């Protein structure tokens, strides 16, 4: 880790350390802001004591970050256009990073203080949008090119629709549990609240099997949250390091000869694919032509290269740029309607293989993000837990409602992590809880739902304006 600063002056080193601290602070806030959702159902159903539940959640968040991969991390990195990230000076990159992080931190702390389950993902993505738009205005460039619109659109749609999906699925699970277990002699207690359990059976804790199900589903939420939101922290640190110390992080300098040769072989296969399609079409497809051009440039750049350390900094910039351009063209080809399943599978696999040496993260980054998220989980969880546990429904949560909400959240977030889509743990779980309450006919507290909806609506525009304003000020100060 210390090698980052071996060539930098003291001021630059301090700024890099400060940028990393901001990312880790953001991730710790994410821990007690978002992960509190994973333990709220356990605490309010008395399946586990608060302190043990929080420690358990922290441990499984840690494991989620450690084992969750990097798909979501680079979805965050690629939200900013490649040219903006690579062409920024060191000072501009610092201004970009600090403005983005400060905006997200301010909003997250504000909503946490007022006990509002707002989305850390929304605030981060809004902050990135604000940076891109402000940069376009300041440099008098195209607003359309200021953002990676294709990736931004898919992420935005996932953030909008994931709470709705959570509400529907959790409500559906409660309906099924009511239909099949309401009159069951063994499992009818699943529809009890903890208070009813104590009054009827004289016991404070849930029945053994129900308790195990609640604990396992809570572990699923914690692990899935670590895999999704933890990756955002990894992506942020890589964004920081690519922007501020690009010479060391544009490509994986520790990539071995086998990995580099694998990239070369993939480029050869892609060249054959696009050449074949070019010949088979009477009219040369523009995206095929662009792909072939960039593939040839990349192959020329990597000729006789078996170690990325032998590439000059300029060539590392070029390599990253060419590979990401090819990746974008593959995405456009995959999205076209005239491609069969076999070709689509080939292109998706080729893209993943081709980007292995630039979509990476050193283990020390994964570890410090995992630690920050898990420590944050164990510190400031109480405020959001109270909102989820007491202020969404008019009645106390039943075991079935808690379990349905957690199962929905863990599977939804887990699938999103696997497919590389950043989603909001907060909104999926809170909407799932609301869905279970509605189906059970318990009713919901309209004031709380309005506040959560207001935070959901305001997070994106406030984060955009805040990060844009901070970035604009920073540009004039540096």
Of all residues in the chain, the percent with pLDDT exceeding 90 is: 8
For 181-197, what is each residue's pLDDT tens digit? 777 766 778 888 888 88
Using alpha carbons only, give the angle 46, 197, 224 rounded to the nearest 5 degrees. Answer: 35
pLDDT at 283: 44
C-alpha distances in Å from residue 52, one per residue of 42, 65, 212, 229, 316: 10, 20, 15, 22, 47
Report CA-CA distances (Å) from 98 to 16, 221, 237, 472. Answer: 10, 30, 12, 12
Determine the pLDDT at residue 136: 80
Rounded mean pLDDT of 436-454? 70
> Is residue 266 predicted with pLDDT exceeding 90?
yes
* pLDDT on residue 269: 92
DSSP per-residue letters across 84-112: HHHH--HHHHHHHHHHHHHHHHHHHHHHH
Distance, in Å, from the CA atom of 146 to the CA atom of 180, rounded to the nearest integer, reads 53
**pLDDT at position 207:** 86
Model confidence at 131, in pLDDT bands (50, 70, 90)? confident
Lowest-pLDDT range of 136-150, 266-280, 339-353, 386-400:
386-400
Tell me what pLDDT residue 265 has. 93
Say what percent of the chain tops pLDDT 70.
Answer: 82
Nearby residues of 192 by Cβ (< 8 Å), 6 or more positions away: 200, 398, 399
Q: What is the pLDDT of residue 100?
A: 85
Delimit the domains of the chain by residue range.
Answer: 9-247+362-477, 251-354
- Strand pairing partners for 444? 393
Q: What is the pLDDT of residues 289-313, one digit of tens each?
A: 777 888 999 999 998 888 999 998 8
Burial of 269 (0-12, 13-18, 19+ CB in 10 A): middle
The C-alpha atoms of residue 205 and residue 215 are separated, in whole angstroms, by: 12
Output phi, psi for 373, to 5 deg.
-65, -45
Q: With CA atoms as reference, report the closest residue to 321 among 296, 286, 285, 358.
A: 358
5: confidence class by pLDDT, cuts 50, 70, 90: low
Cβ neighbours of residue 119 closer than 8 Å, sequence gap 6 or more? 34, 159, 424, 426, 427, 456, 459
**Segment 372-408, tens digit of pLDDT:** 888 877 776 565 555 555 555 456 778 888 888 888 8
Q: What is the predicted pLDDT for the residue at 143?
A: 65
Task: Provide the pLDDT confidence category of residue 422 given band limits of 50, 70 and 90.
Answer: confident
Yes or no: say if 168 and 435 are a contact pair by the CB < 8 Å rule: yes
DSSP SS3 for 147: coil
Question: Per residue in 39-68, pLDDT tens?
Answer: 777 777 888 887 788 888 888 888 888 888
pLDDT at 128: 85
The Cα–Cα gap between 232 and 226 comes to 9
Q: What is the pLDDT of residue 146?
A: 62
Residue 81: what pLDDT?
65
pLDDT value at residue 110: 83
Q: Residue 143 burial by CB count (10 A; 0-12/13-18/19+): exposed, middle or buried?
A: exposed
Calculate helix-pair angle for 50-67, 363-377, nearest 10 degrees: 160
**Would you say 249 and 242 are in contact if contact means Cβ atoms under 8 Å apart?**
yes
Enter the tokens of residue 152: 């931004």
Average pLDDT, rounded, for the chain:
79
**What is the per-residue pLDDT for 230?**
79
Q: How far apart are CA 40 and CA 383, in angstroms?
A: 10
- Predicted structure pTM score: 0.79
Residue 175 scores a pLDDT above 80? yes
What pLDDT, on a 0 to 100 scale, did the predictor assign at position 282?
44
pLDDT at site 466: 93
- At residue 86, the pLDDT reads 62
As a whole number, mean pLDDT of residues 238-264 equals 87
């Amino acid at each position: 880790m210390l090698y980052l600063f071996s060539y930098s002056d003291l001021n630059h080193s301090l700024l890099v350390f400060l940028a990393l601290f901001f990312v880790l602070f953001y991730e710790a806030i994410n821990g007690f802001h978002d992960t509190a959702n994973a333990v709220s159902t356990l605490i309010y159903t008395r399946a586990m004591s608060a302190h043990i539940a929080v420690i358990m959640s922290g441990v499984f968040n840690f494991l989620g970050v450690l084992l969750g991969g990097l798909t979501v991390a680079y979805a965050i990195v690629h939200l900013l256009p490649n040219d903006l990230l690579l062409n920024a000076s060191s000072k501009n990159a610092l201004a970009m990073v600090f403005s983005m992080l400060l905006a997200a931190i301010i909003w997250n702390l504000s909503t946490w203080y007022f006990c509002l389950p707002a989305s850390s993902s929304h605030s981060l993505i809004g902050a990135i949008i604000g940076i891109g738009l402000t940069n376009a205005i300041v440099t008098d460039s195209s607003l359309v090119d200021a953002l990676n619109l294709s990736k931004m659109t898919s992420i935005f749609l996932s953030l909008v629709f994931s709470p709705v999906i959570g509400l529907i699925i959790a409500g559906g699970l409660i309906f099924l549990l009511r239909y099949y277990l309401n009159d069951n002699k063994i499992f009818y207690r699943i529809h009890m609240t903890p208070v009813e359990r104590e009054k009827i059976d004289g016991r404070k804790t849930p029945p053994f099997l129900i308790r195990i199900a609640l604990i396992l589903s809570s572990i699923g939420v914690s692990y899935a949250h670590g895999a999704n939101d933890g990756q955002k922290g990894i992506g942020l640190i890589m964004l920081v390091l690519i922007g501020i110390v690009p010479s060391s992080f544009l490509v994986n300098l520790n990539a071995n000869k086998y990995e580099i040769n694998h990239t070369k072989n993939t480029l050869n296969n892609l060249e054959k694919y696009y050449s074949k399609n070019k010949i088979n079409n009477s009219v040369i497809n523009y995206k095929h032509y662009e792909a072939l051009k960039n593939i040839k440039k990349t192959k020329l750049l990597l000729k006789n290269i078996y170690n990325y350390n032998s590439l000059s900094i300029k060539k590392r910039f070029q390599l990253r740029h060419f590979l990401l351009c090819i990746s974008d063209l593959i995405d456009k080809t995959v999205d076209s309607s005239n491609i069969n399943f076999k070709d689509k599978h080939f292109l998706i696999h080729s893209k993943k293989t081709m980007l292995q040496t630039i979509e990476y993260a050193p283990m020390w980054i994964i570890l410090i993000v995992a630690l920050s998220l898990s420590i944050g989980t164990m510190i400031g969880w109480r405020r959001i837990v109270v909102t989820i546990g007491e202020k969404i429904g008019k009645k106390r949560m039943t075991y079935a409602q808690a379990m349905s909400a957690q199962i929905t959240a863990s599977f939804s977030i887990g699938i999103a992590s696997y497919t590389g889509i950043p989603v909001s743990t907060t909104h999926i779980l809170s909407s799932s809880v609301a869905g279970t309450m509605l189906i059970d006919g318990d009713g919901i507290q309209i004031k709380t739902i309005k506040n959560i909806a207001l935070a959901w609506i305001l997070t994106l525009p406030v984060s955009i304006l805040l990060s844009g304003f901070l970035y604009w000020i920073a540009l004039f100060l540096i």
